[in-house]
């Protein structure tokens, strides 16, 4: 990668990340540099470099729309679905697909209690209902699990399995397994457990989407024609945009994603792309087992 492109990517990264995340990003970069300079073990260095290559930009196949008619989205919080794949969901709905979201958590901080917590959850759920009324006229499903708190894992898997069987999707969208937020990881893991323990599901592919993290994609969806509509939907998450301008961040992320598709011809001068890592269910289970086997998620 030449210095010009690297400089542009660094500026984009700094723009997308809020101040606290920028500090963490810069600290990680500093520690990474110190590791390379101080570590004399070439095998260790090669392992670290190989791991970071997983996140390096590569050219991906760009599609107009997923080729499925019954799409289910699993979202940790009320807004993750639109941030990660709102444009793709808009295009799928317009093409005649049945598109539905399940929100796993209530979206309220563990620090919130009592009446204020209940009011906050109601606001977030009402915003989600407004978004989906405008997106395709449907009503989302709310599991209302407590955010970042202890849950009954077995009971949750049973509940999620029942909901998935009822929807009978042929394609499921789920947060990418390298996402950093705990609820995002939990969502990926819980879905993998449903897949692992439930025979004869109709799911053909799993589309892992990005919310907070860069991913190693293999599929991109060109959302340029519906990007303004996605942005308008993002503005409906008023409670969240007051804390951080997620609408602006999502737009910037979809613009930055075009670096992954730089060799793909597009009819748009300045396209917007949503990225996914797409696998078959069996591969997805293997990935989750590999990445989360030593991680305490609950």
- β-bridge partners, 277: 208
Contacts with 211 (C-beta within 8 Å, 6 or more apart), sequence order: 80, 83, 84, 175, 176, 179, 181, 184
Q: How high is the pLDDT of residue 7?
A: 54
Q: How high is the pLDDT of residue 293?
A: 84
For 225-251, write each residue's pLDDT tens digit: 999 999 999 999 999 999 999 999 999
Domain locations in the chain as residue ranges: 3-53, 61-292
Q: How high is the pLDDT of residue 123?
A: 97
Q: pTM, whole model, 2 decimals? A: 0.82
User: Which positions of the chain have pLDDT values less than 50?
Assistant: none
Q: How high is the pLDDT of residue 52?
A: 55
Q: For a pLDDT cut of 90, what percent of the chain falls above it?
A: 69
Radius of gyration (Cα) for the chain, nearest Å? 19
CATH 3.40.640.10 describes domain 61-292: no
Q: How high is the pLDDT of residue 292?
A: 86
3-class SS string, the chain: CCHHHHHHHHHHHHHHCCHHHHHHHHHHHHHHHHHHHHCCCHHHHHHHHHHHHCCCCCCCEEECCCCCCEEEEEECCCCHHHHHHHHHHHHHHHCCCEEEEEEEECCCCCCCCHHHHHHHHHHHHHHHHHHHHHHCCCCCEEEEECCCCCCCHHHHHHHHHHHHHHHCCCEEEEECCCCCCHHHHHHHHHHHHHHHHCCCCCCCEEEEECCCCCCCCCEEEECHHHHHHHHHHHHCCHHHHCCCCHHHHHHHHHHHHHHHHCCCCCCCCCCCEEEEEEECHHHHHHHHHHHHCCCCCC
Q: How high is the pLDDT of residue 58?
A: 63
């Amino acid at each position: 990668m030449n210095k010009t492109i690297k400089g542009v990517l660094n500026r984009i990264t700094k723009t997308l990340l809020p101040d606290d995340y920028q500090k963490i990003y810069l600290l990680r970069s500093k520690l990474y540099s110190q590791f390379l300079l101080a570590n004399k073990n070439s095998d260790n260095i090669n392992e670290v470099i190989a791991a970071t290559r997983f996140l390096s930009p590569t050219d991906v196949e760009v599609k107009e729309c997923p080729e499925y008619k019954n799409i289910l989205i699993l979202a940790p919080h009320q807004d993750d679905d639109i941030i990660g794949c709102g444009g793709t969901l808009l295009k799928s709905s317009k093409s005649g697909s049945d598109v539905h979201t399940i929100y796993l958590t209530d979206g309220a901080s563990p620090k919130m209690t009592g009446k204020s917590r209940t009011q906050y959850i109601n606001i977030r759920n009402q915003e989600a209902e407004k978004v989906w009324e405008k997106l395709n006229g449907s009503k989302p499903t709310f599991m209302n699990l407590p955010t970042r708190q202890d849950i009954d894992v077995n009971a949750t898997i049973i509940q999620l399995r029942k909901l998935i069987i009822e929807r009978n999707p042929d394609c499921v969208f789920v947060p990418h397994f390298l996402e950093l937020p705990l609820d995002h990881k939990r969502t990926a893991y819980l879905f993998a457990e449903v897949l692992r323990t439930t025979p004869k599901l109709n799911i053909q592919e799993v589309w892992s989407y990005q919310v907070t993290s860069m991913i190693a994609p293999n599929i991109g969806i060109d959302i340029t024609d519906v990007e303004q509509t996605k942005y308008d939907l993002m503005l409906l998450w008023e409670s969240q945009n007051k804390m951080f301008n997620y609408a602006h961040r999502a737009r910037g992320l979809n613009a930055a994603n075009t670096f992954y598709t730089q060799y793909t011809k597009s009819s748009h001068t300045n396209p917007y792309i949503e990225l996914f890592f797409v696998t078959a269910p069996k591969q997805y289970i293997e990935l989750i087992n590999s990445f989360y086997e030593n991680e305490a998620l609950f």
